[in-house]
């Protein structure tokens, strides 16, 4: 009998390991359907972009729209819910971290002191103006911050990154992404026409486009339409603006922690939420700045970033209901329109002052 008892601990330990493995396996299997659906929709977004030849429209936007179409016309299967949530949370964070490899500190230096002032002041003024006007228009605070982030920093990527600390619902995310897409597209068409009529110098226009247009693809479409010099300046200015994603998200997280403490939702000594993916983003910028990531590796990382963010936005679309968007009414759209006009004119004024 004693000999029989000596075998008990190993069997118990093995059983514990087997149980943990089973839990992990079941959890992994639970996310596969929704994650696979999100990946398929993102793939369709890339394919649609290629077929239509609409390079100025980000595959992220198309993935969001296709995800919304599936959810509202067919419905997201119940078995896909966990995987869709995984896409919105984990895949998004991985994409933001990887985005850091596309940016370097030398890009900040390349725009010069005057260009840096234009970008920093335009971003800060636009964010502040949008938050102020959102209060005046009585737009939901969370949605206001998402529109402010998307308008002032980098469109859809900024919206979904900011929402990790703002914590709005998927309808808010979709609404904010739709707004920055529409108005950024208008800038892509209207700004080159204005610059041509005004006889604006290519470098001046490039800085204006990079400091004010919402999406990276939209900046490239507008700036390169005015020549290679404008395109290069615009792209560098826009990437320098994207670097500001990290400090803005960290600041939003601290502001959200203060708000929750004032409302009694958390203890007074609770630490602000730490968006660790932002730390990863900063680390990737540091790695890219060393020059170790070059050529094909950087190109592959860029494609992987787009894929991960597209999957995350496809998953967001799979949780978005059009009825929720319609219920928000016209005031958020008015806010986004006012923010677009503000950043365009304020940025133009600063660019003309420093040229």
* pLDDT confidence of residue 4: 47
Is residue 312 within 8 Å of residue 97, measured between CB atoms?
no
Per-residue b or e along 281-294, where b marks 16 or more CB atoms closer than 10 Å to that residue's CB: bbebbeebbeeebe
The helix (run of H) or strand (run of E) holding residue 48 is helix 8-52
For position 42, what pLDDT does the model report?
Answer: 94
| d(C-alpha 170, C-alpha 145), whole Å | 14
What total number of domains does the chain contain? 1
pLDDT of residue 55: 63
**Is the CB of residue 355 less than 8 Å from the CB of residue 201?**
yes
DSSP 266: S
What is the residue range of 103's domain?
Answer: 2-354
Helix orientation angle between 92-99 and 276-289, rounded to the nearest 10 degrees? 30
| Average pLDDT per block of 10 residues along the chain, 355 residues long | 47 55 60 92 91 74 88 91 87 86 81 90 96 96 94 89 86 89 87 93 94 88 87 88 88 79 59 69 89 83 89 87 82 95 96 88
* Tokens found for residue 233: 């300046």
């Amino acid at each position: 009998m004693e000999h029989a008892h000596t075998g008990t601990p190993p069997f118990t330990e093995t059983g514990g390991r087997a149980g943990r493995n089973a839990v992990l396996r079941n959890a992994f299997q639970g996310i596969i359907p929704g994650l696979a659906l999100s990946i398929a929709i993102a793939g369709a977004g890339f394919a649609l972009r290629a077929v239509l030849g609409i390079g100025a429209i980000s595959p992220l936007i198309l993935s969001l729209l296709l995800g919304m179409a599936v959810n509202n016309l067919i419905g997201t299967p119940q078995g896909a819910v966990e995987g869709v949530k995984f896409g919105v949370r984990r895949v998004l964070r991985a994409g933001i971290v990887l985005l850091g490899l596309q940016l370097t500190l030398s890009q900040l230096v390349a725009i010069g002191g005057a260009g840096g002032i234009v970008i920093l002041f335009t971003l800060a003024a636009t964010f502040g103006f949008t938050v102020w006007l959102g209060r005046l228009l009585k737009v939901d605070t969370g949605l206001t911050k998402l529109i402010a982030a998307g308008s002032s920093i980098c469109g859809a990527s900024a919206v979904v990154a900011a929402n990790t600390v703002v914590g709005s619902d998927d309808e808010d995310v979709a609404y904010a992404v739709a707004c920055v897409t529409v108005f950024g597209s208008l800038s892509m068409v209207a700004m080159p026409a204005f610059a041509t009529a005004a006889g604006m110098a290519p470098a001046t226009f490039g800085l204006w486009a990079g400091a004010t247009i919402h999406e990276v693809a939209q900046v490239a479409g507008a700036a390169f339409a005015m020549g290679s010099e404008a395109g290069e300046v615009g792209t560098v200015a826009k990437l320098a603006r994207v670097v500001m994603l990290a400090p803005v998200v960290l600041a939003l997280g601290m502001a959200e922690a203060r708000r929750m403490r004032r409302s009694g939702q958390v203890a007074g000594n609770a630490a602000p939420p730490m968006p660790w993916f932002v730390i990863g983003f900063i680390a990737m910028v540091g790695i890219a700045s060393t020059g170790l990531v070059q050529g094909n590796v950087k190109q592959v990382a860029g494609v992987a970033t787009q894929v991960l963010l597209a999957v995350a936005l496809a998953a967001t679309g799979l949780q978005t209901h059009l009825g929720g968007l319609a219920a928000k009414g016209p005031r958020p759209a008015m806010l986004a329109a006012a923010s677009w006009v503000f950043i365009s004119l304020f940025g133009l004024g600063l660019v003309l002052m420093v040229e």
